[in-house]
Homo-oligomer: A and B are copies of this chain.
Amino acid sequence: MDIVNPSILSGFMELLPEEQKLFDEIKFTIEKNFIKYGFVNLDTPLIEKEEILLSKGGGETSKQIYRIDKETTPQALRFDLTVSLARYVAMHANEINFPFRRYQIGKVYRGERNQKGRYREFYQCDIDIVGNEKLDIANDGEIPSVIYNIFNDLGLENITFRINNRKLLNGFLESIYVKDFESVMRAIDKLPKIGIEKTKLELEKFGLNVIQINKIFDFINLSELENKEVLDKLLNTEINNDVYFEGLNELNKVYKYMELFGIPTKNIKIDLMITRGLDYYTGTVFETFLDGYESIGSICSGGRYDDLASNFTKQKYPGIGLSIGLTRLFYQLNESNLLKKQEEKVNHNILVIPMSEEVYDYSIEVVNLLRNNNINSQIYLETTKTKKKFNYADKIGIKKAIIIGETEKQNKTISLRNFENGDQEEFKLENLVKILNGGKNEN
């Protein structure tokens, strides 16, 4: 048979076991917090009907989509988890309970241009709280608090939530007679990347005059003040626009609720530059940055939407949600050397090493004992040189191994070898579990 060169497609992440453990540690921390906050898991098919995926209209999405080559219903791989959530809510509206708190952690597919740190298959970790017809603004404060706790658990406490409100922006733009909200917001969104001068040129292109442009920059620049002062200035304004004040009222509440849900105010920044390009969002919007690593970009973004499932039903489902792009985040944390906490937390197996086949039986008894006591462990069953066995232990990162020879078998003992310093001590088998759980040797 011909030998096929073993390889994977470019743009796909595949990790070695030790890296995978770090990845899993993060994924597990995220999921644990989602569950702790009362979100329930959804596990929807990776393949959806194309009419569902493209219900919003084609555009960029339809070019990047992974279509399945089947002569039946046109179908493709999901490119995010939101479309499936919307489809699910519309489909099962009578079987689920609102507010519907769902989480989903799953792979999504986008045929993006190949570039470093960008993947075509990547994990999204999403939470959403979806209401039926209405959803209290207090939820907008709870959603970021989940993220705050996740990053705390990950040892990345120094994060900043940059929050804003689309109604506030819309109302403000309306008050200065700007018509094309979307284009202007996209221009503002690019400001940190392209700088003030280029943004001004962009805005001119959209037909804004100098007065309008200056007003926009004066408005945005308010963000340089302390949060309370920003809110104060936003309130004491000449602007006379209902949508603006509705947005301001929401922003005030969200700020208050974020604090009530345990996010220290030092980790929150009201930032009038945050727009979250997509037309999908209608109220609260936020992005999250790692302090000192802002160049990584937002590590978690989200916001409030008025109408989740408008393509699938006439019923209104407003909601608030967020998404972590885990695959890219992992890549960046790894590149920035920020996975130390995960390295500490990764579990290390106990390795049982029988010195010969004659002691396999007693060695298996030992590993059974460990597993019955929920100690992650494995046994090395190859008959080979001791050096090779120890080498294996070293390479897979074993910290403690249990060595079993004829003596140990006869005496019902074990020799515990510390692979970090080479120490080895003999214990009675009956004391093993206690010792591994941190007790002293009373041999």
Contacts and interface: CB of A to CB of B under 8 A. Distances in A.
Interface stretch (A179-187, A335-343, A377-385, A410-418): A377-385
Q: Report copies per complex.
A: 2
Interface stretch (A235-243, A257-265, A293-301, A423-431): A257-265
Given A66-B70, A68-B66, A135-B382, A371 B7 contact: no
Chain A interface main SS type: loop
Contacts of A21: 40-41
A24 to B, nearest CB: 6
Contacts of A67: 68-70
- Sorting the interface of chain A by its residue count into under 10, 10 to 19, 20 to 34 or 35 or more gives 35 or more
Which of A3, A91, A95, A380 counts the most B-chain CB atoms under 10 A from its CB?
A3
Interface string A17-54: 10011011000000000011110111111111101100
A377 B38 contact: yes
A392 interface: yes
A1 interface: yes
Contacts of A52: 4, 6-7
B7 A20 contact: no
Interface stretch (A160-168, A268-276, A360-368): A360-368
A4 B44 CA distance: 18
A347 B41 CA distance: 13
Contacts of A311: 1, 3-4
Nearest to A39: B378
Interface stretch (A99-107, A189-197, A435-443): A99-107
A162 to B, nearest CB: 22
B257 A364 contact: yes
B9 A49 contact: yes
Contacts of A287: none
